[in-house]
Structure 1
């Protein structure tokens, strides 16, 4: 088999390995698999290519257009994922591991595509929070907007997830409208390169939106500006070195880090042997020790159980580990493949020796274990190694040493407070899990350990069949953690997109805010509708287009009929004396839902037209009671328009109900689905 020559994609060209190229090996055979890297890359040209071509092209697209692009990319990768599987076996990953890395990465793109379409506007400005009134009359307002950084995102990724590690950063970056330069770890860069080639060959990305570096970045970090961002995944030592770069500090370049961490799993005091929770605990720990051969930033490194149950945990976990076949990841029977390289194998053994100074190894001998279908002496194979620390309070290194492989340590706790104390000694982690059927246990751990962990995962017999697992960060939720874990947050839905955008506070009149956000703000100019707005297609409606209707007098007969018809005979509507004793009402008042019904009758166009459906109300408030004899007026204004499908879009209407004195009695937002204009 010829060696792989992994090229970089720089400034629109594929550049072959050159000066400074490094070799990488086949994890299964230990043989050199190929070369990657070129110290002669023109990093300034790469940055310019991203800033001058990729950035403007992406920013010209709306959030929804970028979301559609992400969905199409995910679909294209799905059609070609077998090629990624075939190549990824060389990293030591099994078919099960591919599901986490390759399928998981593609699924993450799908989620960000959905988030972009559902939670972000079909426009260029993201509105953050509510409008703040900063003057008495409401003619001077404040708001927060988010717009894309006008630079480039540099993604530095770890070796263990060559596809997911790239896509979980790339999804929110592209959705924000920022181009990316991806630099994977050399050991597995060949899998990332194939994924990048596929995305570029799809023709879905604008020129300059994505570049790829195999090998080192050279002095690229020294050329970044305040409009750029660095997102890093890897060791705490490397993160510290990068984060401390004087240029990055001087220019206030955004730096997001997701580092190694000593994640813990706590067996609740109620989860005794024989309970579903005990069996679940053993299953979760076993999975985290063996999936990706333990090379996961979220893997369980510290197993915390009640002191009385430690022997049972060791026995059950050892029995399960003993039934885990290790070997060639291509073999269907294999459940744990190789580490990524022999260098990584040596590192894990060194760290295991440090842990072994404070804990006894109770399972897994690295000098005597069986490897199926491969040469265990040449490949980067190790057995799962389980340690037991009899005194976690006196131990130091088990709380600060991570063997990035199939290595975990069991330790006992006296009470739940002690368990939390042990978990927190990791100095900050990406995730801690708690297996318990007692909600009180979950609450105590959340209050005691929440500040030290980026994610708390609770599981029991009720959720175990549907849970995603201790070690699976989901794109909907933040992935990161304090302290040793890096202090950063990735993914988290739209929160992740915000890392690549600038939040800016804006101040001005309602007209100014409406124009900037493309969303009508109360107090802004209204446009008189040339015809009833319900007769006008989605594209014909203008932001601020308004219909006024009314008045309609509310009679006592209306109130009583509505009460009888609906069964809502609450005393405030039916009993004058009782209503008068209520501090909110002057006497009998009209039902709030009666007002909404009358308002609809006042502004609805009954004939068939472009309005397809009323899908709900948002922000409904009743502000002043209405009594018999009052007159009701309604104002209906087009607040925002959002395309949803190829056939229809959502119109958000601002509705205000006033009485005969012009006082607001109710306010809400009406949502309708409208057909596009013919």
Structure 2
């Protein structure tokens, strides 16, 4: 029986029935699936994404797309076991697959949360605050971010066929940009499986996601200036794709997250017997054996004090000798196979190159015998530890990467030399510094950060919660300079903004308010007879405003507030000291001004406003003295419908209010935003 044929998902339909290239199990070499022979009409794919994808995604706002991501994550979580069963054939252990499957799902959840917390109800992000550009206050400027209206092409690597796809898809989808995903062929059967589940969920708007099995053909030649290309893979392939004539002609943004020569530095303050010494050895071995070393973030260069080189080598060898390699289905197996036989051949060739400048400390000669039936036909590779003869020499582990369970020890004499060796990687995704000395970390961090996208500082305090050297997180940047490609695959809101177009907007405050969907000071306000706090979420208008009555500040106010709060700072109570200050008089507590303003604008009766749950951007601009008279203006700044309900089940939204407190001279004395939960009408 011939293996099943994988299909591409193009223009809303699955295509491919004639088998082409056979993909084999990494465990035993048995045929697993085939790519399809039918060519893909990339003109149709691009047109469908730009036309249908942008239309359907644009019909949703940021908040609604965030809700779709969460629902999609829940849907995949319920069906993850079928993905685990398939992932087994890629040579991955259960723990390896957990990173790929659960890690991918966690990324969906994370971006759903980021969207819900940080993005508006709409498709325009205001990067404020607006800044005045004229003396009369009627000409201002600001920045907005909007969906690009193009198409994203994601070209992914073989090592994380699920997480690697979802880490790009999640921020792209949240940004409202349709994408075409091209997984590496060797493990494309896993990407196809998860895309099928996503399609079956019914949660994907038409055209928002397409899948290419096999070659990209002329896809890159069809892209335009509003499109984006992201790539994960080898630095050599990234360099070739980056100079595509069409991409250059149309200035198509191209970012790469390339395999890099990441390092881990054991600081000179760490000695055998210290907790950090054992943490270092454990981290190096974990990065060598997790996913059989097939991680773009794996430790390729282990930089250690010359004084402790032998102790580190012995510690790593001892741990590697206990690693059981074989079929992950067998109990006790801790490391599986490489993802393909082609990868096995490539790692072997790279190891031969590294051995020209390094000595073998541990490898296949040290009892390597994979366990399991049929493993002799599998793509297994022995964990291999090398030692560079001259860490400063050209080539070697500073330039050659064996993308498997291979690491090279390098000795140094002082911290400056260690930092110089780290930089020899010519730009990497991640470095680890293992130290318990804050002064060492403070000195080393700037030098390491200049050459690396992420830095893990590991010690006994962080160890219990550390996610490890090789674990990118959705909240933090994943990418690196130089050889690492210069990309930023993750990074919270930064990654979403990568798929949006930034533009400067100039005009009157009223026009800027209309464009941004957010009240800009100086814009026309809407005065209503009904107090804003008595209006339901749907009824509150951006720019709806209340100018309060006045209140004159007295000495009794200062005394009473000081006694109530316990704040007896001399500027509020010492007449002589205050008179000698820059203010020349006693001034009111800033938080009294804040409280007094609330007393001026808060509606005391029962109404739709449930709670004030936050305060942002507070500034005390001018002092308030005894005898000054203050008033407040409360204006609806923005509304966010997160699709949530109260614990009692009442639908509600978030309303942010701009508050400006002025004195008798119309000078602003305090400025801030308050966030309120407001019930929806009809709840």
Name the CA distance, whole Å, in 2 between partners of 1:207 and 1:636.
Answer: 42
Quick check: 1:70–1:110 contact (8 Å CA) kept in 2?
yes
Residue 588 of structure 1: aligned partner: 586
CA contact under 8 A between 2:158 and 2:184: conserved in structure 1?
A: yes
Contact residue 302 and residue 410 of structure 1 kept, 8 A: yes
Partner residue of 1:487?
486
Q: Partner residue of 1:499? A: 498
Q: Does 1:650 pair with 2:654? A: yes
- When residues 316 and 445 of structure 1 are mapped into structure 2, their CA distance, relative to the original with a 3 A threshold, is same
- Between the aligned partners of 2:564 and 2:393, the Cα distance in structure 1 is 73
The 1:224–1:129 alpha-carbon spacing in structure 2 relative to 1, beyond 3 Å, is: same
2:529 corresponds in structure 1 to 530
Partner of 1:613: 611
2:537 and 2:655 in contact (8 A); partners too:
yes
Paired with 1:130 and 1:630, the residues of 2 have a C-alpha distance of 29
Is the aligned partner of 1:3 residue 2:3?
Answer: yes
Residue 159 (structure 1) aligned with residue 158 (structure 2): yes
Deviation at 1:367, TM superposition (A): 9.2
Superposed displacement of residue 4, structure 1? 2.3
Deviations 1:250-293 (A, max 9, x none): 01111110111000001111221111101111111111000111
What is the CA distance between 1:590 and its match in structure 2? 2.1
In the alignment, is the contact (CA less than 8 A) between 1:572 and 1:579 conserved in 2? yes
Matched with 1:393 is 392
Aligned equivalents of 2:663 and 2:204: distance in 1? 54
Aligned partner (choices 631, 634, 639) of residue 632 of structure 2: 634
Once the 2 structures are TM-superposed, how far is the Cα of residue 560 of structure 1 from its aligned partner? Answer: 2.5
Deviation of the 1:513 alpha carbon: 0.8
* Structure-2 residue corresponding to 1:668: 672
Tell me whether 325-334 or 471-480 shows the greater mean CA deviation.
325-334
Paired with 1:489 and 1:473, the residues of 2 have a C-alpha distance of 11
Deviations 1:589-647 (A, max 9, x none): 22222222221111111112111111122122222222222222111111111124132
Q: Secondary structure at the match of 2:117?
A: helix
- How far apart are 1:548 and its partner, in Å? 1.1
Q: Distance in 1 between matches of 2:353 and 2:385?
A: 14
8 A contact 1:17–1:36 mirrored in 2 = no
Paired residues of 2:327 and 2:375 also in contact (CA < 8 A): no
Instruction: Provide the residue aligned with 1:48 in structure 2.
Output: 47
Deviation at 1:17, TM superposition (A): 4.9
User: CA 1:216–1:39 in structure 2 vs 1: closer, same or farther (change >3 Å)?
Assistant: farther
Q: In the alignment, which residue of structure 1 is the partner of 2:648?
A: none
Question: Which residues of 2 match residues 229-378 of structure 1 at below 5 A?
Answer: 229-365=228-364, 369-378=368-377
What is the CA–CA distance in structure 2 between the aligned matches of 1:593 and 1:445, rounded to whole Å? 41
Q: Indicate if the aligned counterparts of 1:112 and 1:475 stay in contact, CA closer than 8 A.
A: yes
Deviation (angstroms), 1:376: 3.9
Cα separation, 2, equivalents of 1:100 and 1:337 = 14
Matches of 2:340 and 2:155, distance apart in 1: 19
Aligned to 1:407: 406
In the alignment of these two chains, the number of paired residues is: 676
Query: What TM-score, normalized to structure 1?
Result: 0.98
C-alpha separation between the residues in 1 aligned to 2:564 and 2:427?
60
Offset of residue 368 of structure 1: 5.6
Aligned pairs (5 A) from 1:175-186 = 175-186=174-185
- SS for the counterpart of 1:371 is coil
**For structure 2, which runs of at least 5 residues remain unmatched after alignment?**
646-650
1-structure distance, mates of 2:17, 2:449: 46
Post-superposition CA distance 1:494-514 (Å, at most 9, x none): 101112111111111101110
Between the aligned partners of 1:566 and 1:451, the Cα distance in structure 2 is 46
Q: Report the Cα distance in structure 1 between the residues aligned to 2:38 and 2:267, rounded to whole angstroms.
A: 52
- SS state at 1:677 partner: coil
Alpha-carbon distance between aligned partners in 1 of 2:625 and 2:186, rounded to the nearest angstrom: 75
Deviations 1:342-390 (A, max 9, x none): 1111110110011111111110126962111133431101110001113
Counterpart position of 2:224: 225
Moved more, 113-122 or 644-653: 644-653
- Poorly superposed stretches of 4+, deviation over 3 Å: none
Distance 1:366 1:47, change over 3 A: farther
Decide which moves more: 116-125 or 661-670. 661-670
Residue 489 of structure 1 aligns to a residue whose secondary structure is: coil
Partners of 1:287 and 1:269 lie apart in 2 by 22
Tell me if the contact between 1:549 and 1:633 (Cα under 8 Å) persists in the aligned partners.
Answer: yes
Separation (CA, whole Å) in 1 of partners of 2:60 and 2:317: 54
Q: Distance in 1 between matches of 2:381 and 2:622?
A: 72
Is 1:418 the counterpart of 2:389? The answer is no
Whether the 8 Å CA contact 1:618–1:669 is kept in 2: the answer is yes
Residue 523 of structure 1 deviates from its aligned partner by 0.5
Contact residue 184 and residue 192 of structure 1 kept, 8 A: yes
CA contact (8 A) 1:534 1:610 kept: yes
Distance 1:17 1:484, change over 3 A: farther
CA distance in 1, matches of 2:496, 2:563: 51
- CA offsets 1:437-460 (integer angstroms, 9 cap, x no match): 111111222121211111111111
Cα deviation 1:517-545 (Å, max 9, x = unaligned): 11000000100123111111111111111
Deviations 1:177-213 (A, max 9, x none): 0111111011000010000000000000111111111
> In structure 1, what is the Cα distance between the partners aligned to 2:625 and 2:30?
86
Distance 1:59 1:388 in 2: 55
Residue equivalent to 1:66: 65
| 1:624 corresponds to | 622
* Partner SS state of residue 429, structure 2: coil
Local SS of the residue matching 1:666: strand
Tell me how far apart the structure 1 counterparts of residues 563 and 486 of structure 2 sit (CA, whole Å). Answer: 59
Q: Paired residue for 2:195?
A: 196
Which has the higher mean CA deviation after the structures are superposed, 559-568 or 482-491? Answer: 559-568
Q: Report the Cα distance in structure 1 between the residues aligned to 2:576 and 2:602, rounded to whole angstroms.
A: 36
Contact 2:358–2:396 (CA<8 Å) still a contact in 1?
no
Provide the rounded CA distance (Å) in 2 between the counterparts of 1:571 and 1:427: 56
Give the match's secondary structure for 2:428: coil
Per mean C-alpha deviation after superposition, the further-off stretch among 609-618 and 67-76 is: 609-618
1:230-261 deviation per Cα after TM superposition (whole angstroms, max 9, x unaligned): 11111111111111110110011111101110
Q: Do 1:273 and 1:309's aligned partners in 2 also have CA atoms closer than 8 Å? A: yes
Q: Which region of structure 1 is more displaced relative to structure 2, 567-576 or 164-173?
A: 567-576
Report how far residue 332 of structure 1 moved. 2.9
Q: CA deviation at 1:112?
A: 0.6
Kept in 2, the 8 Å contact 1:38–1:214? The answer is: no
**Structure 2 residue aligned with 1:459:** 458
Deviation at 1:14, TM superposition (A): 1.0
**Cα deviation 1:117-148 (Å, max 9, x = unaligned):** 11111211012242122112221111111111
